[in-house]
Structure formats: C-alpha cells, structure tokens
Amino acid sequence: MRLFFAVAICLSGTALFTFAQSPGYEAKAKELGIEFNTAAKPNNHFVPAVQTGNLVFLSGHGPRKPEGGAVQGKVGKDLTIEEGYEAAGLTMIALLSSLRNEIGSLDRVTRIVKVHGMVNCPPDFTKQPAVMNGATAVLTSIFGDLGKPARAAVGMGSLPNNIAVEIEMIVEIANE
C-alpha cells in the first residue's frame, strides 16, 4: 500500500503524463509500479462489469488492500483525507483490475468517460473531491488526458461493510 501511496503523492502534483490514443497503457501502469489485483468475482445478483457496444459499465468497487481486506471507516472521522485519497486510489486499481478481466488489456481503452465516487463520511465533511482525486490521479497517470473523466464526488452516511470509498466507472473501448 505504501508503494501506491508514494506514486499517488507524486501524481497529485502538476506534472501529468499525456498520451495520444495508442497502446501502451499496460506498460505505463507497470512502469508506475501499479500492481493489479484479482478482479472482483460475479455473484448471484450482479457482475463486476457489463460491456454493451464500445462501453463498459463497472459496478461499484471498494478499496481492496494488497495484503487483503478493505480500507474501512469514515473519512474525516476515522480516516484522514490522505488516507481517503489512498483508499480511492486502491479502489481505482480494483476497478481497473475488473476492467482488464472484462476486456483483456487496458490498451483497448479509448476514453475514461465517467467516474462516480462515494465517500463514507460524517455529515459535515465537505472534502469529497480531494478524496476522489486519489482515484483520478491513477487514471491520469496511466491514460493522460484520456483518463480525465466526467466525475461526481459525493458523501454518504454509510457504505457497505463500512468501506471508506465506493466508485463506479464507465469506460469507452476500441473494438478487438
């Protein structure tokens, strides 16, 4: 988790990578030291990802620690904004893991379309965008400007299993 946090802190500055629409996103993620985890498993009621045409809709994912388990707690009470930022980054890695499982390779991504982030927080917490920057920093570090999505960052009174962050995403992909 520390390796990701160090990468994420570097990415929160002004220098972002810019790419043309071309392959190389898998290599970029590897270069950044991002390790994808085992994708979420489908269950009897929903699946992690659904592809329709050139769009992939990813179900809500939470922050999975590399060593197992989830980041839990309310940001602004149990967790700092920085810990929330890291949790959002871990959540994005979980989403990208499911995306890779669905489409085979991140090199097929043509655009990150939409990210909807939900932050588990107290009612008076107003820094949800700062927390969600952890997720979009991962996207822009890999996909450059094509990783800048339309985005929502909202606060929630609770999330399943007390996870710190839940994120949904829509991605456009190229035909095989």
User: What's the CATH number where 83 sits?
Assistant: 3.30.1330.40
pTM for the predicted model, two decimal places: 0.86
- Rounded CA separation 130/31 (Å): 25
Q: Which domain holds residue 73?
A: 2-39+47-173
Per-residue pLDDT of the chain (176 residues; tens, 9 = 90+): 333 444 443 444 433 333 344 459 999 999 999 998 876 677 788 999 999 999 999 999 999 998 889 999 999 999 999 999 999 999 999 999 999 999 999 999 999 999 999 999 999 999 999 999 999 999 999 999 999 999 999 999 999 999 999 999 999 999 98
Contact 110, 146 (CB under 8 A): yes
Count of domains in the chain? 1
Beta bridge partners of 163: 72
Question: Which pLDDT tens digit goes with each residue over 126-137?
Answer: 999 999 999 999
Strands (DSSP E) along 2-100, which ranges?
Answer: 49-52, 55-61
143 half-sphere exposure, CB direction, 13 A CA radius: 24
